[in-house]
């Protein structure tokens, strides 16, 4: 029996929860990977450029993400699906699995709060500079670099922790009742 199919005694709802947890794991993994890629390649590479190039590149990255419906779906569904799965598991009395999924959702929610409270406002400040070729005051860049990079590392850690919790939930969900 697949880890993501229903387990004995769970009825059809086990199959739904299995899929929700599986898809949630993939989505949170994609977000952790995106943040990690920025941590280890994008931001260190940009740090070696001049401020004008840095601003222009970040403006383009942010515009590409802002206008991308697939990214928006992954970004939001990575929270919604685990919340639904946790509620369903809790209602079925599968408290341990619900707890792991709930912790994953909470960690991801904190990453979203950081995104909306810190990273997006910083991205908007760079966007408000306008055409990077015409910018004369780059004072915002140093503040952006230190704060944005630090909070992105935190988002990576939170998403990676959420991913680990979801993997554990997958393992618990796939077990037959009474097994250890």
- Let me know if residue 69 belongs to a domain: yes
> How many alpha carbons fall within 13 Å on the CB side of residue 119?
23
What would the two tokens of residue 4 be?
A: 């993501």
Token reading at 139: 């004072």
Closest among 124, 170, 137, 158 to 39, alpha carbons compared: 158
Residue 168 lies in a domain: yes
The domain of 84 spans 13-173
Query: From CA 32, how far away is CA 160, in angstroms rounded?
Result: 6
Task: Kindly state whether residue 109 falls inside one of the protein's structural domains.
Answer: yes
Residue 121 lies in a domain: yes
Looking at the structure of the chain, the number of domains it has is 1
Nearest alpha carbon to residue 165 among 28, 31, 20: 28
Q: Which of 172, 175, 180, 159 is nearest to 24 (CA)?
A: 159
Tokens encoding 24 = 């949630």
Closest CA to 100 of 82, 118, 121, 112: 82
In a domain, 147, yes or no: yes
- Quote the pLDDT of residue 13: 56
Domain presence at residue 68 = yes
Residue 3 in any domain: the answer is no
The answer to whether the CB of 126 falls within 8 A of the CB of 140 is yes
- What is the pLDDT at residue 12? 47
**Does residue 5 belong to any structural domain of this protein?**
no
pLDDT tens per residue across all 180 residues of the chain: 344 443 334 444 578 899 999 999 999 999 999 999 999 999 999 999 999 999 999 999 999 999 899 999 999 999 999 999 999 999 999 999 999 999 999 999 999 999 999 999 999 999 999 999 999 999 999 889 999 999 999 999 999 999 999 999 999 987 655 433
């Amino acid at each position: 029996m697949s880890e993501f199919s229903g387990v004995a005694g769970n009825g059809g709802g086990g199959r739904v929860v299995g899929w929700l947890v599986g898809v949630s794991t993939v989505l949170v993994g994609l977000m952790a990977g995106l943040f990690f890629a920025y941590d280890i390649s994008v931001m260190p590479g940009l740090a070696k450029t001049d401020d004008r190039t840095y601003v222009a590149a970040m403006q383009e990255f942010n515009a590409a993400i802002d206008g991308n419906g697939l990214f928006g779906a992954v970004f939001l569904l990575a929270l919604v699906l685990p919340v639904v799965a946790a509620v369903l598991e809790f209602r079925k009395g599968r408290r341990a699995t619900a707890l792991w999924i709930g912790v994953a959702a909470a960690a991801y929610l904190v990453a979203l709060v950081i995104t909306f409270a810190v990273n997006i406002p910083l991205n908007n400040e760079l966007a408000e500079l306008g055409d990077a070729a015409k910018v004369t005051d780059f004072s915002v860049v140093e503040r952006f670099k230190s704060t944005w990079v630090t909070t992105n590392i935190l988002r990576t850690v939170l998403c990676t922790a959420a991913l680990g919790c979801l993997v554990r939930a997958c393992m618990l969900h796939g077990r037959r009742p009474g097994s250890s």
